[in-house]
Structure 1
């Protein structure tokens, strides 16, 4: 079938709206009419840094309505409202033990450009186009494996829900699924973009005593306070480690870094109390750590977390329920754009004018 898609032909190139051929869903696959798709930093990295093969249709926070299902699909039916999340194999040890975010085939399935059967679903002028995260949601339609697809309530605005598939899932899931802070403890979130603010909302759900937001932008720190932060620190103006130890009477129990900035990661480690835990979700370059002084000698833990260690089919509906009850107001992070404004959405995200852009693709 012929669809419209935002195509990236080469590294760093702006999105171009073009006609593309989409092959019908095969075994265990679903055809979705895309309603909207979140704009995520990972899309920008793929566009600019060649982490997936070009030409490609990006987009990995899609939401839409199922139009057709292939042979073998059991959980999803035409007419279902769905959110699309990451791809996983479903049969490796990590998938089978409830950790599909560290699927042994994660990189191949999400960044390799092909579907699970090693073929392409997108074509243009007899040329194959790469698929991203097993979905490529910057298009009017997408085909995805049933494992990518999460059924959601029809009484919630479907255009709002796409970011639950990646960025918002990452922040909230790292708190709720991995760190699991105990009642009355302290957590510090470094960076208050969409991922960090999602973590703050999740920390409020767990009833942490101190929820501390660290950033360099006062407007984002104000929003962090509105969403649940008990304290805020502008790291341009204050000594972060000293301030945290003062607030928490010796250091935080938990930390979550979304920035990927080595100096911030070092601050986050030093601001932990003995036995404290630090989760890293930002893409962090090579850096030096004094393992004895900064980790081992005080029994601290530093762990990497992908996609909030979530099982999307279980976790995303839970987030929707929290949203409906007013306990997870992630809509306050969102700015909507028309699909034709996708390049502007990326620019506004880069410049900090929009925390979580969502492009509306169809009604």
Structure 2
């Protein structure tokens, strides 16, 4: 498989890499089998996080005996030194390894204070000095924090949402990372499931030779799809560009990326799904959303207490309560026509 130099880390990782968030949703047996199949197909980079429940444990079970042949990154949302150290030590045990290739600060609202002796950055420096982590990066959904991270020169990689719906500002981040010799790891390459043409997504990523997309993989067919694309290595064509242009027109403006940082909801609303229901109805099989279960889930929106906590947490600045109200109105209109289909 094609490999990419991950900025100044000098780590060479497969351009097609494995995002391990989804494997927390499947059994350990199935997860270990899937991860091992990915490794045997040539994928050498696996990304997880402390907060992904048992994802680290499953990766450890699948890869501990081939550890020297793979690159593993994990993350912590800790803001103080004590908790960050605890998270790193827990990750090492779960991953069944004595080092982490890339430790990432997990979507901090503000840049970690690199001079705070009791802060999380001090923990990362200490663990790097001891050899337990080898490189330090950061993930984020906020343009301002991402720009600060690049300018600081203290982080070797940036993980940021990036797909063919990218704005000019997103593209600028990619350019800045190249200029600063900083690895760029692309998450949400399918925009939370809204993009459904894998070949178009793959070809777009190939336009950026220093970008490493991590595809979230839960099923064998998803793995097979990305492995096949890596073998065929399709590049941009007029036909694929037409698909991209159509999606850009349909999904232009503010829409929910399903990052989940709005949760938990005070009223128990499934915000990441409900807030993009109209897109899901138009871009995927709609019958599952016509069930009594989904009707009840959508009508939880009527129980919104307008605390605005979700709005304050949204890294994209969405007016989440207003968005939910619009989505419910559109859902009810669709449901009235199609629920008896």
- The TM-score normalised by the length of structure 2 is 0.27
Q: Which has the higher contact order (CA 8 A, sep 6+)?
A: 1
- The TM-score normalised by the length of structure 1 is 0.26
Q: Which has the higher strand share?
A: 1
Q: Which has the higher helix share?
A: 2
